[in-house]
Chain A
Amino acid sequence: MNKALNIFFCVCCAFALAQTDEDQAYKKRILETTEVDFLSSYYAQKGDNAAVTGGIGTEELTDATAAIIISIPLNDDDVLTVNTSISAYTSASSSNGNPFDITGASTGRGEDDDDDEDDDDDDDDDHNSGNGNTVGTPWNASTGASKKDTWFSVGVDYAHSSDDRDFSCNASASFATEYDYTSVGFGGGILKQFNQKNTSIGASVHLYLDKWNPIYPTELKSFEEVNGNLTHGFFSGVTLLDQSGNTSTAWQPHNGFQLIQNTERNSYAATFSFSQILSKNAQLSVFVDLLQQKGWLGNPLQRVYFGDVRNYYIGNAASIPVYTSKQNTDVFQLADDIERLPNTRFKIPFGMRLHYYLNENIVFRSYYRHYSDDWGIRSHTAQLEIPIKVASALTLYPSFRYYTQIAATYFRPYEQALSTDKYYTSDYDLSSYSATQLGFGLNYTDIFTKAHIAAFGLKSIDIKFYQYNRNTTFSSYIITAGITLVSD
């Protein structure tokens, strides 16, 4: 496949270079005036296969995101873009990193009288004193600290274009942070146009230096803190149950559970693109990414339960037989381990866009992507969006997207991983499934920017809605809105 792609690109490049460039158009400013985009979205999902609770349990999550993108023309050729984004989410499954405070029984939340060096101080997920009333369930949200989080990012991009506009380059830097994750990124790219701007070839590279601040399942972190003594710390006064509902102190995480030593996760991406005008009404682009990731590529909060070891619980013994159903409201299974995945991953997504201008009212925007990686995942994505202009300033955007993927080699459903396995995860995002997405949107554009907000004219408004359904219990929707203003 890689060799075939290489040949394909060689043909494309040879074609582009063989053409003469006769175009010397007038020099137009890359960006006439400062543009400001206000973007927002609301996302909600539900499902029954939460990874934090080992492949079963509620996946309910909501996320609200707001972003401001400011593009400033520094001169005729250079544009500086600053992108600031903030995202706030509430997640039932993430809250179940610590599921045991559902009744408020864990009155010692946040108390910490030990001297361990791993203190996060404000992390009541990690330091939760249990008692005899401690219960939890994978089917409801708890009040754990990881129930809510805020993701913040800022990115800066500087772009330069040559006088003839046939060549452009850019450099970018970014920073992002959330409760358990920090990222610093750098990138740059070049784009060359040929053949009277009918053909372009681009290449870019991006580097992300990310770091986990690991949050672990409460019982595993607590086990490590008390060196396996189940009468101390969180476990003091807590009754552990075996599969039969009898009191037991035999629970042991896999290999005694050790904290992650290497918390880094670095990503290296190289992107190659080719675009070609096919006719007065059609154009196409092809792009390939080569992505290499190294470091801790799993999520330390996500539990795994082995099928070949005994099960232990905290909570109501009578609910153990219905543990995997939503009838279970008051018992929680202690983790055998967190997910373990290789510390490298190489991904090759290959995408193609073909846009066709049917007439002044209708455009076809099609997209296809093939993806493969060395974890065994294969996927296909196909999308068609058909913008329909119903008035000079108003466009409708119906769309359909189909997605299907083959599971990672290491994926195991609840209780199907084995303690003898080297790698395992019960994250259903890495399972085999297919999904459909229906979308509908509206765009209002006023090229004359007659409406004004302060010193800015209103250029466009976008509102879109997408409904996403997997062929499992998972479904989600997202509403996005965007307003573009331009300075006078």
Chain B
Amino acid sequence: MMKKATLLVIATLLFGSCAVVKEYEKINLNDPDMALSLKKCDGNLITAHAYREATVGANGGKTGGGCGCN
């Protein structure tokens, strides 16, 4: 119950206070290094992690299929 309450509070604080950023105000957010997606050149690194670690997913890379990895 405490965990749920904590998450609700965090979510409310985090998103409830967000001001809408207009398109013309997004120059910094449009910097290529601000992109939230996985960079193409990091794909092979993510794949190496998928082979050597028991963990996959939640990173835009492999999710456990398509290779003999974990």
Contacts and interface: CB of A to CB of B under 8 A. Distances in A.
A316 to B, nearest CB: 32
Interface in B14-62: 14-16, 18-23, 25-26, 28-29, 31-36, 39-45, 48-49, 51-59
Contacts of A371: 54-55, 57-58
A105 interface: no
**SS class, residues of chain A in contact with chain B:** strand
Contacts of A196: 20-23
Contacts of A289: 57-58, 63
A467 to B, nearest CB: 12
B58 A180 contact: no
Contacts of B41: 39, 462, 464, 480-482
Contacts of B65: 183, 185, 206-208, 210, 265-267, 269, 293
A192 B29 CA distance: 18
A395 B33 contact: yes
B48 A11 contact: no
Contacts of B51: 429
Contacts of A482: 40-41
A4 B36 contact: no
Contacts of B22: 196
A180 B68 CA distance: 9
Interface stretch (A249-257, A320-328, A349-357): A349-357
Given A153-B66, A276-B15, A287 B58 contact: yes
A144 interface: no
Nearest to B34: A355
Given A208-B66, A408-B54, A285 B36 contact: yes
B63 A176 contact: no
Nearest to B40: A37
A19 B64 CA distance: 36
B70 A288 contact: no
A373 B55 CA distance: 9
Contacts of A207: 65
A112 interface: no
Interface in A168-220: 174, 176, 178, 180-181, 183, 185, 195-198, 206-208, 210, 212
Given A4-B7, A69-B40, A198-B21, A351 B15 contact: no
B53 A269 contact: no
Interface size class, chain A: 35 or more
A299 interface: yes
B55 A369 contact: yes
A12 interface: yes
A371 B54 CA distance: 9
B64 A275 contact: no
B48 A43 contact: yes
A1 B16 CA distance: 23
A278 B28 CA distance: 12
Contact of B21 (A25, A212, A280, A468): A280
Given A180-B68, A280-B21, A299-B68, A369 B59 contact: yes
A474 B29 CA distance: 39
Nearest to B27: A280
Contacts of A271: 57, 63
Contacts of B35: 355
B23 A351 contact: no
Nearest to A289: B57
Contact of B36 (A1, A267, A355, A357): A355
Contact of A176 (B59, B66, B70): B66
Contact of B18 (A277, A293, A435): A277
Nearest to B6: A4
B68 A279 contact: no
B9 to A, nearest CB: 10
A363 interface: yes
A25 B23 contact: yes
A379 interface: yes
5 contacts: A276-B18, A347-B56, A379-B54, A462-B39, A478-B44
Sorted nearest first, the 5 A-B pairs with minimum C-beta distance are A208-B65, A351-B58, A267-B65, A349-B58, A482-B41
